[in-house]
Amino acid sequence: MSSGPRILLREETLDPSYVPAKLPRRDTELALLGRRFHDALGKGLPFHLLLTGGIGSGKTALARHLAADLERGGRLGSWPVHPSYINCWRRASDRTVLLDLLRSVGVSLPDRGYSLSEMLDVFEQGIRKTPAHHLVILDEASALVKQGTKLAYLLSRGREVGLGSITLVLIATEDLLPYLDAASRSSFGVTHRLALAPYDRAALTDILASRAELALRPGSYGAELLEQIARVAAPNGDARFALEVLTNAARLAEDDGARELSAEHVRRAKGSILPTVSEGHLEALSTNQLGVLLALARSLKGRRSSLPSQKLRQSHAALLEELGGRPMSRTTFWRTLKELEREGLVTLEAGSSGESSQIAMDELPASLLTTLLEERLAQSQKT
Ligand SMILES: Nc1ncnc2c1ncn2[C@@H]1O[C@H](COP(=O)(O)OP(=O)(O)OP(=O)(O)O)[C@@H](O)[C@H]1O
Ligand SMILES: [Mg+2]
């Protein structure tokens, strides 16, 4: 176990439930929505919103941030903002959602024996007691909406149905408009919809940097490491996955008693969350491919997460010499690299002009890959 200094100084700040004070790369969205809510609520009008985006694109973080900002901002028009956040994932019925909503406006009911309309009456009394702009956030609302919720309609027509000033925010990974009834759909016109794009690599790097700064000991990670994790998470644009890899890599580094996180910790962390390469996958590789991969794995055993193609070509040539194989032409070397890229085993990146490409391998711990490949090569030489 650990003998080195602690690395995860504030692990709780990497927990998925933690709402960070800063949301880099979502400032534009935050400002835009802040303005729209401000304008509408200031005039005493609701502002309903349908917020969509892929997994880990920051929907929940953005909504909670916005709610906290509005709540802190004090009165808008005649009332303050009172947010109620409800995750509907496991509460996919109007009644269970409404029970939570009741609790958030300070009334409690036993969860049995009341009809939806009785519960709505109680809700109405509850919000009369505390006049406010009620900002109701229904997160992970897909199942609820697909089951034909009436609550979305009632909450988006709060005023007309006598429920007072309610603003409804629906959050889902997919567009929910097709599943809403026509009346509710009209509450979510174009300015009332926001689809978050997946984070790209640069965005993930910034996000990782801001969260690592909160959670990890300064000096325990470098910029290259964060870039490696961002590269690993970029295909899905998923910040949650990126932060999970960071957390697990930091744990592995602590367990190793290391002072710093290394590229190898990242590979191991990634593999434990999402094993992508099976031994069968490796068995299907050609001897050429195995050789290049082995040269790469050996070169990347230390702290590095990528290296220039020139360097790889040199260490590959040295490996062939060691194994007594024939030298490989430049063209074959490149074709082999391209094949490995298609297999999803390496990443090629064009270097800036005049520099050679960078080759990265984030799939498997280099130590494990080296062992597997050496065994395979030894076998194929015997036969
Ligand atoms: N711009 C950002 N800056 C800092 N942290 C972020 C940012 N965006 C997301 N995160 C963090 O990434 C994780 C995932 O974000 P979030 O939970 O908001 O995604 P989501 O879109 O709600 O995903 P899901 O569809 O799975 O619910 C959270 O820990 C969140 O704090
Ligand atoms: Mg979410």
- CA R_g for the chain: 27
- Dihedral pair phi/psi, residue 324, rounded to 5°: 75, 25
Element (H, E) at 32: helix 27-42
pLDDT, residue 163, reads 75
- Dihedral pair phi/psi, residue 141, rounded to 5°: -90, 5
pLDDT, residue 382, reads 66
pLDDT, tens only, 1-34:
546 789 999 999 998 889 999 999 999 999 999 9
Query: Hey, whose CA ends up nearest to atom 16 of ligand 1?
Result: 58
pLDDT, residue 256, reads 94
CATH fit for domain 27-196, picks 3.40.50.10070, 3.40.50.300, 3.40.50.1100, 3.40.50.150 = 3.40.50.300
Atom of ligand 1 nearest to the CA of 64: 18
DSSP 235: T
DSSP string, 114-129: --HHHHHHHHHHHHHH
The mean pLDDT value of the chain amounts to: 89
CATH fit for domain 279-382, picks 1.10.10.10, 1.10.3980.10, 3.40.50.280, 2.40.50.100 = 1.10.10.10
Token duo for residue 203: 């965005």
Judge contact between 105 and 82, C-beta under 8 A: yes
CATH code for the domain defined by 200-273: 1.10.8.60
- ∠255-258-259 over CA atoms, to 5°? 130
Distance of alpha carbon 206 from alpha carbon 203, whole angstroms = 5
Residue 291 Cβ < 6 Å to ligand 1? no
pLDDT, residue 376, reads 79
Query: Hey, whose CA ends up nearest to atom 3 of ligand 1?
Result: 23
Distance (angstroms) between ligand 2 centre and the Cα of 351 equals 36
Strand-pair category, 193-196 with 49-53? parallel
pLDDT, residue 224, reads 95
Distance of alpha carbon 294 from alpha carbon 87, whole angstroms = 47
Ion ligand 2 — residues with CB under 5 Å? 60
Residue range 76-103: mean pLDDT, rounded: 89
pLDDT, tens only, 109-138:
877 788 888 898 888 888 888 889 999 999
pLDDT, residue 158, reads 79
pLDDT, tens only, 176-234:
999 999 989 999 988 899 999 999 999 999 999 999 999 999 999 999 999 999 999 99
pLDDT, tens only, 129-182:
888 999 999 999 998 998 888 999 999 887 777 777 899 999 999 999 999 999
- The structure's pTM equals 0.83
Confidence check: pLDDT of 333 > 60: yes
Work out the pLDDT band at 89, boundaries 50, 70, 90. confident
pLDDT, tens only, 308-330:
999 999 999 999 998 888 899 99
Where are the chain's structural domains? 27-196, 200-273, 279-382
Rounded to the nearest angstrom, the gap between the alpha carbon of residue 214 and the centroid of all alpha carbons in its chain is 17
Distance (angstroms) between ligand 1 centre and the Cα of 46 equals 26
Mutate to test the pocket of ligand 1, among 60, 64, 142 (most ligand atoms within 8 A of CB): 60
Residue range 346-353: mean pLDDT, rounded: 79
pLDDT, residue 353, reads 59
Ligand nearest the Cα atom of residue 52: 1
Distance (angstroms) between ligand 2 centre and the Cα of 134 equals 21
- Crossing angle for the helix pair 287-299 and 330-342, nearest 10 degrees? 80
Distance of alpha carbon 79 from alpha carbon 75, whole angstroms = 5
Token duo for residue 90: 């496991």
Element (H, E) at 248: helix 239-255
